Structure 1
């Protein structure tokens, strides 16, 4: 099995983006599924425009994918990105963010935008 190497520029850009706590948390939240902007706003207790700026940076770099369903946009981890192996390693080292989504569920704040 041949090991793929990641270009230094790509690795540096990914690490720079993940060096921000908010973006790292967002990546942790979408590690196992997809989330809507509204959910990020609730979990992170930040304004929607601020969350959207972080998501735009992640999307423009190709680290997350977006899928539109009606008026809602859902974000998920782009597992086919060249730097995904780095992202995967980092996400395994940080606290699991699923608990934050579970807390939203229990509070009845988890968005079901279908």
Structure 2
């Protein structure tokens, strides 16, 4: 039953469209918070809150580089999450839909 409870907690996070979009974007590459703020057009604290929740459930990992923090997927040991993400659009499609086709903002 503990395994089911863990799965439920992780899958609950995917019911939020912003968090699911973040995970879908992270399928292709890592992103810095500032890039996600620009893409999603929500505040930095808002993006950070979503990332905090995803990190607390082990779905993303962070890599600090100087003052910037980059996030990447951490779902290799969660096949049920990987299965869900197979049905999400790739980052190019998401960026096109959000009219962010030419995003090149890299935190430095």
TM-score between both structures, scaled by the size of structure 1 = 0.81
Q: Distance in 2 between matches of 1:15 and 1:77?
A: 15
Query: Does residue 86 of structure 2 align to residue 86 of structure 1?
Result: no
What residue is the counterpart of 1:16 in the other structure?
Answer: 12
**Which entry has the higher C-alpha Rg, 1 or 2?**
1
1:42 counterpart residue number: 38
1:65 is paired with a residue whose SS is strand
1:10 deviates by 1.4
Secondary structure in structure 1 of the residue aligned to 2:52: helix
Stretches of 4+ moved more than 6 A in 1?
none
Give me the whole-angstrom Cα distance separating, in 1, the residues matched to 2:24 and 2:73.
9
Give the aligned length.
104
Alignment of 1:26-41 (within 5 A): 26-41=22-37
CA RMSD of aligned residues (A): 2.0
Q: Is the aligned partner of 1:98 residue 2:104?
A: no
